[in-house]
Amino acid sequence: MNRIPSSSDFDPQLAALLPALEGYVPRGMTLAQLEHFRTLSRVTRQDLIGDAEVTCVDHCIQGHQGAEIEVSVIARKDHSVPGPAVFHIHGGGMVMGTRFAGAKALVDWALRHDAVCVTVEYRLAPEHPAPTLVEDCYAGLVWMAARAAELRFDPDQLVIFGGSGGGGLAAGTTLLARDRKGPRLLGQLLQCPMLDDRNETESAQRYDGVGIWDRTSNLTAWRAVLGERCGGPDVSPYSAPARATDLRGLPPTFIDVGGAETFRDEAIAYARGILAAGGECELHVWGGAFHGFYDIAPQSDLARACIAARDGWLGRMFARRAK
């Protein structure tokens, strides 16, 4: 019998934070609590940008079935020469969050790499179940790629990035781009990605009632996204990428995940699938880390190592295509 997980599963620096996070993180979340956690997860433009030397310009674009959605373009104030670009999909279990959530890295990359970054306000479940979420994200990617000249970036240096639910949507959007012969991606960067609606892995069953995002919250979110199809045979790999049976032809991939979180095993399986299909994938499993630790505890030793590994990979991707 597996040992019941506890705070001892976590790195000491991270475990010390858990008591103070009680009630503020969506552990054991039910649909009745969703509005509460949506309020807590709202990040504003000012929260993200502050006094950074970047611009943030909004655009209204057509999402799935012609509905209007927003994207924001973040770039260095002195940006002029086309170069790297990042398309960002925010996290929040596909049921909460805004396009500014988890986007601090975009500001950093705009300043460090002179990257043009676009972040998309896809519509959320359960109000907008699958396939709306991933189709909104794909529409945002197509919009961005078609405006490379206008936004002043190199279309051959475009990387897709997402964390948590946004990581799953980034993986699904990448599959759509491959299968529809859409925008070519230089790479996909998936942090703690939410990939599998079935919740059958050892880690999905183990981490319930502990950490930041647990089995109960995950089931709540997937049922909001997929409804009665959740866990059944008729789930599209674009909505739940762990369902994909063909992982050939994907761009170079970076995946990382906490060693003590629900998504651990599905992230490992996805990385292995890409490698088995002949693709390129760099995988990091951060021992003792709970979900989203790099955003929640960025000053911890584990988060510093994680962010350095992520940013190092991205820099290497950009360098491959630098002119």
Could you tell me whether strands 68-76 and 54-62 are parallel, antiparallel, or unpaired per DSSP bridges? antiparallel
Q: Which of residues 79 and 4 earns the better pLDDT score?
A: 79
Could you tell me whether strands 116-121 and 158-163 are parallel, antiparallel, or unpaired per DSSP bridges? unpaired
Q: How far is CA 17 from CA 179, 193, 305, in A?
A: 43, 22, 18
Distance CA 221, CA 241 (A): 15
Of the listed ranges 4-13, 26-35, 227-236, the least confidently predicted one is: 4-13
* 261-301 residue pLDDT tens: 999 999 999 999 999 999 999 999 999 999 999 999 999 99
* 55-108 residue pLDDT tens: 999 999 999 999 999 999 999 999 999 999 999 999 999 999 999 999 999 999
CA nearest neighbour of 226 among 123, 116, 131: 131
Predicted confidence band of residue 8 (pLDDT cuts 50, 70, 90)? confident
CATH homologous superfamily for 7-321? Alpha/Beta hydrolase fold, catalytic domain (3.40.50.1820)
* 67-80 residue pLDDT tens: 999 999 999 999 99
Percent of the chain residues topping a pLDDT of 70 = 97
CA nearest neighbour of 224 among 135, 68, 96, 64: 96
- 126 upstream amide cis, omega within 30 of 0: yes
Single pTM value for the model: 0.97
Helices within 43-157 (DSSP H only) = 45-49, 104-113, 132-146, 148-151
Q: Structure tokens of 199?
A: 């919740």
pLDDT surpassing 50 at residue 1: no
Strand (E) or helix (H) holding 85: strand 85-89
Distance CA 156, CA 145 (A): 10
Q: In residues, how long is the chain? A: 323
Could you tell me whether strands 187-191 and 253-258 are parallel, antiparallel, or unpaired per DSSP bridges? parallel
Distance CA 124, CA 100 (A): 14
